[in-house]
Amino acid sequence: MKRRKFLYLFALIPFLLVAFLYELIPLSMVVVNSFRPDEGVGFTLENYETVFAKLLYQKAIINSIKISLISSCIGIVIAFIGARAAHQTHGKLNSIFMTILNMVSNFAGIPLAFAFMILLGNAGIVVQIGRALGIDAIANYNLYTSNGISMIYVYFQVPLSTLLLIPAFDGVRKEWQEASTLLGAGKSTFWRKIGVPVLMPSIMGTFSVLFANALAAYATVYAIMMNNISLLPVQIAGCFVGDVKIRQGLGGALSVTMMLIMIIMIGLTNLVSKQFQKGGAKA
């Protein structure tokens, strides 16, 4: 038995080594650099003062949280409907749906940005069709705004969240729905009082993943907007690849701020999940 445990621990060594070299060391360096001045040595809080005092970085934090919340909320609602449909569908239709989901979930980054510019840019195909047909909502659509960027985020949030929610529907038993029907409850009542509360821990866990995914997204928004929109990932990248000078301290402070926002959101979603679990246990 001891030998088997030793073999298991030995098998974990490569994973622990990779985690140490590519996660723990970079993370610790980012935190340490955030307290260092860009010029000279020593300990300083100047980088954090700049992050929370300068309007540019305040807007970056607000815009990132706003877009992440909007895209995550819309994405989780659409994903819930899609995951429920996928769970209730069997055969070839389900296989086709899962194939499309897997394909679309890998379509992101710069190719996704170019696809949206071709379709919904100022001279995009859909916009030109809207002008030809006199549909003002489409003809005057502006992709290069925060609302336009939010729609792009929703696009890559939906397949990810759907794939994450589909297994959760296995926890909703058919017997529960049959019992609620016998007691006179309709489908909407069942999902409102039984289905959704049971799925809430999975929903909140998926929501936290979507929020972190949107908060850290960089390639797609940068390909479309460059530096014309203030977001945390864009500002962090600018600190390390700027044309003037590299500002590791400020970039580290922005990175730590983004990580703190993620931790706070994960904590809130876990708190909501625990509340629903306690409510279910009492019931």
Measured CA to CA, the distance from residue 273 to residue 43 in angstroms comes to 39
In a domain, 3, yes or no: no
pLDDT of 255: 93
Measured CA to CA, the distance from residue 29 to residue 33 in angstroms comes to 6
In a domain, 208, yes or no: yes
Q: What percent of the chain has pLDDT over 90?
A: 26
CATH of the domain at 271: 1.10.3720.10
Structure confidence by residue, pLDDT tens digits, 191-217? 878 888 888 888 999 999 999 999 988
Token pair in block for residue 164 = 């994450």
Structure confidence by residue, pLDDT tens digits, 221-267? 888 887 788 899 999 988 887 656 788 889 999 999 999 999 999 99
For 45, phi and psi rounded to 5 degrees? -105, 10
Q: Report whether pLDDT(34) > 60.
A: yes
Mean pLDDT of 11-20: 84
Residue closest to 32 by CA, chosen among 255, 245, 263, 246? 255
Structural domain boundaries, residue 96: 48-282
In a domain, 234, yes or no: yes
In a domain, 127, yes or no: yes
pLDDT of 121: 86
Alpha-carbon separation of residue 180 from 85, 172, 200 (angstroms) = 20, 13, 19
pLDDT of 257: 94
Q: Report whether pLDDT(93) > 70.
A: yes
Q: Report whether pLDDT(280) > 60.
A: no
In a domain, 21, yes or no: no
pLDDT of 228: 81
Residue closest to 162 by CA, chosen among 92, 87, 215, 70? 87
Q: Report whether pLDDT(281) > 50.
A: no
Q: Count structural domains, the chain.
A: 1
Structure confidence by residue, pLDDT tens digits, 47-60? 999 999 999 999 99
In a domain, 179, yes or no: yes
Q: Report whether pLDDT(72) > 80.
A: yes
The DSSP annotation for 87-141 comes to: HH--THHHHHHHHHHHHHHT--SHHHHHHHHHHHSTT-HHHHHHHHHT-HHHHT-
Mean pLDDT of 70-95: 87
Q: Report whether pLDDT(101) > 50.
A: yes
In a domain, 29, yes or no: no
In a domain, 129, yes or no: yes
pTM for this one?
Answer: 0.86
The Cα diameter of the chain in Å comes to 76
Residue 103's pLDDT band (cuts 50, 70, 90): confident
**Strand, helix or coil at 228?**
coil
Structure confidence by residue, pLDDT tens digits, 127-182? 899 888 888 888 888 888 888 888 889 988 999 899 899 888 887 777 777 787 77
